[in-house]
Amino acid sequence: MSFLDEREEFRGTFERLTVSTMDPHTTTKKTRTCRDCHENPKSMGLGYGNIFLKKDGSWGLTPSSSANATIFGQDRRLDAFVSTDGAPIVHTSRKGLRPFNQSELEKIVRVGLCLPCHPGMDDPVMKNWKGDTTPKPCKAFLYMARPVK
Amino acid sequence: MVECNLAKVEVAGSNPVSRSTTLLYYFGHPLWLPFSFLLVGARLYKKVDRHAAAFLQLALLLFLFLQAPWTSSALAENAPLKRPNRVTRTLSGQIDMCLSCHKETLDKAHARQVLGCYSCHLGNPLAGTPEEAHKGMVLNPGDLRVVDRTCGQEGCHVQQVKDVKNTLMATNRGIISTLRYYWGETRNHNEPLTVEKLLEENAPKSLALDYFRKLCGTCHLWLPRHTLPSFLSAKGGGCTACHNVKKARDGRATTHDRHPLITRNIPMENCVRCHNRSGRIGLSYRGLYETEGYGTPFEDGETSSLQLEDGRFVKKIHPDVHFEKGLVCIDCHSQKEIMGDGKQRAHLFEQVEIRCTSCHSGKKVLERLFQEQESKKKFPMLNNLVMARDGRILLEGKKDKKTHPLRPFSRGKCRNPQHVRLSCQACHSTWVPQCYGCHVRFDRGKRQLDKLAIKKTFGMWQEFKSYMRFESPVLGVMEERPKNEDGKEGEGGRVVILVPG
């Protein structure tokens, strides 16, 4: 928010980015796809960008938007609600409402790694998914996430 | 209606001058034409200077204009007034002389023969002249300032009027307290500050409240109808904000019969008149996405051809499946949610009861809701369930009376252990309007209309929007219990949609 005085001269700003929850009233019978949530950092609250896997097995984000996008000097990306380490960067409208935390983000991203080969809930790998331990990491995943020598 | 003969009485009264009489006096005055001919003739024979002719012409016109109202009213004072020659009564026998002039037709429950005019519009039903009859009359009986004497009078809708005054549409408690909480003016997110209190003379003042008065103050039930300019004039009006519908223009509604109809079958337009900002649900439901303020060039490099009455550009995308099936707002949101149960609540989520699972959980839940409806419980969650011949429970659309099957959600997909925390909206709401670059400017040097006090005061608020998106709704968590028992942040709660704002 910008404040102008009686002479219409700029006097200062007050900033607060808040997110709330709602029912959008845009229900469709067909649902969003697995990849729309598990591979899309925007859906996870990380903002527009690309998720990449590091050689040490950890993951990171290359944001598409600039951190100095606003003219009033905020050093944050307006489309991001949470950082990759799960720290919220916005206020929320209600007690108990929050973006995903780090543990949840990692679980979501982990599923996304397998989706290119195992798409959909009908795939046996996804049907029997029980977290990080099962199914046993496949060779493709081990190759991708091999530790740096 | 009973009508009794009454002797025709001619009395001297202050009958208002009719418009046609006044016009006739101005332009059809017997002096005007001969004098004009005289002047033109004199001018032709060059007996009068052209400036003098123009001066005389103008002087006569001015004289007539100045004299006309006085003369007209003087004539009117002496004109005889015809009193109605019958005493008109309602079906219950109440004398309502208004009916001798007013022939407007209404819906069956509020028909003129049943209620007359006085029951709703007040005034003096025993008076013999229009001036006396119209004294103390209210144009809009639904206005919350008078509603206790009109719609809410004994024998009519007493309880509903009491309830609606406590509903969020009348109090705006959620908007006011959230605004003040966001701006750091209060630590109490459930502040009991209402529109009714802000209408008082010694109402609290603050920046957030000034913002509310000037930008948000157009959408509440205390707003008198037809007081704000332009498209805003149709908003507000208490009961009539929702329950009024215009008569269909089928030729029967003449100029003398423009009385709106009163209905329980609230059309979606009445809801969307207000519910089209903030979350934009009134637009999204119909598949309208509000685009950037400058009008994003979606159509062959041109701005969208679809514009709302307030000038906002919209683009047609996928509507809600319930809209496609013909369901309107009141098919899901019933009386208790909209008009309240008398209990004043702080936020919308406390007032809304209906869930996707109310209809889509299967037979057991539907049978319970159907029994609740049939048992004439005061506030059933749904009141439009019908039982088919084969025993299935269906939903009947209140607008089109079509029946709709209520299919249960997929146990396999929706109750998958990995996705059990997801709300229905997390997967089935495929888009949501998101404004990431919303900005407000406060200009202390300019004046703006205070929509509660209906007068301009110093301080202008302007909203700017940018960085509008609709795709990939962001997900987050609504904790049932924010912390685990050991104090650590838990992973319980529902996965819900997060939107900026």
For residue B51, the SS3 value is: helix
Q: Which residue has the higher pLDDT, A34 or B70?
A: A34
**CB within 8 Å: A24 and B318:** no
DSSP A44-69: HTS-SEEEEE-TTS-EEEEESS-TT-
> How much is the mean pLDDT over chain B?
86
B490: closest chain A residue by CA? A101
Tell me the average pLDDT across B74-96: 74
Residue B236 lies in a domain: no
The pLDDT assigned to A15 comes to 79
Say whether residue B448 is in contact with chain A using an 8 A CB cutoff. Answer: no
Q: For strand B385-387 and strand B393-396, is the pairing parallel, antiparallel, or unpaired?
A: antiparallel
Q: What count of residues does chain B have?
A: 501
pLDDT digit of tens for each residue in chain A (149 aa)? Answer: 788 888 878 888 887 889 999 999 999 999 999 999 999 999 999 999 999 887 777 889 999 987 765 555 667 788 999 999 999 999 999 889 999 999 999 889 988 888 888 888 888 888 888 766 545 667 766 666 555 55
Q: Which residue has the higher pLDDT, B68 or B338?
A: B338
Q: How many domains does chain B have?
A: 2
* Cis before A147 (ω within 30): no
Q: Is the pLDDT of residue B182 over 60?
A: yes
CB atoms within 10 A of CB B225: 18
Say whether residue B321 is in contact with chain A using an 8 A CB cutoff. Answer: yes
Q: Is the pLDDT of residue B62 over 90?
A: no
**CB within 8 Å: A24 and B432:** yes
Q: Which domain holds residue B44?
A: 2-82
- Contacts of residues B182-190 at CB distance under 8 Å and 24 or more positions apart, as own/partner, are B182/A16, B182/A18, B182/A91, B182/A93, B182/B208, B183/A14, B183/A16, B183/B207, B183/B208, B189/A95, B189/B346, B190/B346, B190/B347
Q: Is the pLDDT of residue B110 over 90?
A: yes
The pLDDT assigned to B66 comes to 65
CA torsion, ordered B166, B167, B169, B174, to nearest 10 deg: 90
Tell me the average pLDDT across B341-348: 94
The pLDDT assigned to B254 comes to 53
Q: Which residue has the higher pLDDT, A122 or B401?
A: B401
A131: closest chain B residue by CA? B418
- List CB contacts (< 8 A) between A99 and chain B: 474, 476-477, 498
The pLDDT assigned to B56 comes to 78
Q: Which DSSP helix (H) or strand (E) runs through A105?
A: helix A102-114
The pLDDT assigned to B199 comes to 97
CA–CA separation, B190 and B176 (whole Å): 9
Enter the tokens of residue B178: 């959230």
Residue B65 lies in a domain: yes
Last residue of a domain, one of B29, B61, B82: B82
Residue B44 lies in a domain: yes
Measure CB to CB from residue A96 to each of B284, B427, B493 and give the nearest one.
Answer: B493
- List CB contacts (< 8 A) between B328 and chain A: none
Tell me the average pLDDT across B109-116: 93
Measure CB to CB from residue A22 to each of B413, B418, B499 and give the nearest one.
Answer: B499
Q: Is the pLDDT of residue B85 over 80?
A: no
Distances (CA, A) of A109 to A36, A51, A131, B278, B418: 11, 8, 12, 31, 14
- List CB contacts (< 8 A) between B497 and chain A: 21-24
- List CB contacts (< 8 A) between B500 and chain A: 17-19, 90
For residue B405, the SS3 value is: strand
List the alpha helices (DSSP H) in B240-387. Answer: 240-243, 268-272, 281-284, 321-324, 329-332, 335-339, 348-351, 356-360, 363-374
Q: Are B259 and B274 in contact (CB under 8 A)?
A: no
Residue with tokens 């079906």: B91
- List CB contacts (< 8 A) between A22 and chain B: 279, 281, 432, 497, 499
Tell me the average pLDDT across B101-111: 90
Q: Are B292 and B307 in contact (CB under 8 A)?
A: no
Residue B187 lies in a domain: no
The pLDDT assigned to B222 comes to 97
The pLDDT assigned to B416 comes to 84
Integer-rounded Cα Rg, in Å, for chain B is: 30
Q: Which of B6-15, B127-136, B342-351, B379-388 has the lowest mean pLDDT?
A: B6-15
Last residue of a domain, one of B52, B82, B112: B82
Say whether residue B445 is in contact with chain A using an 8 A CB cutoff. Answer: yes
Say whether residue A74 is in contact with chain B using an 8 A CB cutoff. Answer: no
**B315-331 confidence digits (pLDDT tens):** 999 999 999 999 999 99
Q: Are B281 and B275 in contact (CB under 8 A)?
A: yes
The pLDDT assigned to B391 comes to 93
Q: Which amino acid is at B317?
A: I
**B415-459 confidence digits (pLDDT tens):** 888 888 999 999 999 999 999 988 899 999 999 999 999 999 999
Q: Which of A93-97, B125-129, B251-255, B295-299 has the lowest mean pLDDT?
A: B251-255
Q: For strand A59-63 and strand A91-92, is the pairing parallel, antiparallel, or unpaired?
A: unpaired
Residue B330 lies in a domain: no
Last residue of a domain, one of B82, B111, B138: B82
Q: Are B209 and B447 in contact (CB under 8 A)?
A: no
Q: B404 pairs with which residues across the strands?
A: B395
**B456-475 confidence digits (pLDDT tens):** 999 999 998 888 999 999 99
Tell me the average pLDDT across B376-381: 85
